[in-house]
Structure 1
Amino acid sequence: MIFELLHAPYASEYGEALLPLATCKEQLKVDITDDDDLIAILRDAALEFVEQYCSLRLKETAGLIWKAERFPCVGQSIKLGVGPVSAITAIEWLDGDGATVNGTLSDYRLGLHNEVLPAIGGSWPSNVGGGVQITFTAGYADDAAPSSLLQAARMFLGHLYMFREAVTDRGTEAEVPFGVRQLCSRFRGVVI
């Protein structure tokens, strides 16, 4: 099923809550304040990379939106593409006449693998004219982000800081460090 997961911009304090600037500077062995803005930008980029690489959010984020043109076939689930999902806040679609239909949340359930399914005994709506949209909350609760993923972000931050001027597409400057991938590997979904 083809879908779109709308990018939810980070709140300004998102990166600071996960990896405070002081922690980042300690990781980089930086004592001066001249690079604080750069380090904060690179920190946010490193966190975003880890989150996208693992298809998850390191901090709980409300208002994420999944969109598609239709519901899946009978017996299939909707994989939201990011996790861990803690709540579905809205499901809506367009009916055959183009009017918005707000689904009843009790008609759906959250599966084990960041997926939405019809309630037991239920089915997906059949009068869908398009525009399926699910609004949800995903991410780890405060202070619950796995330490290995935070360490991966710190390591990638170090790489980005060291090679911030690199423009080559060959050689070690352009590659994601092996240790970053290793720390993230067990959190990536299996694709079959």
Structure 2
Amino acid sequence: MKTTSYGTLMVVVSAVGFGLMGIFAKIAYGEGMTVGTLLACRFLIAAALFWGTLAIVRPRFTLTRRETITLHLMGVGGYAVMATLLFTAFYLIPASLAEMLFYAYPALVCLLMRWLDKEPVTVRKAASLGIGMLGTALVLGVPAGMAGVALVLCSLLAAELKSGASSRKRETRVRAEFSRSS
């Protein structure tokens, strides 16, 4: 499979997974799971898949101490916080509303990159973001359940801080050589 085709497939799989995340959360909550229990199960499954993949692929890579610390901070201080806020929002407001609010993410990344890296906001970017935000606003209408909305926005902020740290040019660079073991 070509690299671009594989990349496109991974984006589609990721989008489907993201879309289903709120639905599965609502089902789990309906069965009596708490946010903490659901996230513990979610991260346990992710860890098993991650370590299983590493066992099969056996990548060789090196990380400096700073890179290791940065990656840990991004995981615990970034992703874990973001997931906790988002899944708490799923508990408080409709999953569809939480996920639609989360679609403000590209606009926030654009603003963060402008602020941190002085990346220019081109007319094309501004128009694309404006159209996307307008579509989100049209779908959302007037939101109810402001506590859940606030949690989604805090989740977005946590995701932004994590993304900003990972995308900065002088931040973590992971050098990996993946080779299949026989």
TM-score range, shorter chain: under 0.3
TM (norm. structure 1) is: 0.23
What is the TM-score of this pair, normalised by structure 2?
Answer: 0.24
Considering fraction of residues, name the structure with more helix.
2
Quick one: higher RCO (CA 8 Å, sep 6+), 1 or 2?
2
Q: Which has the higher strand share?
A: 1
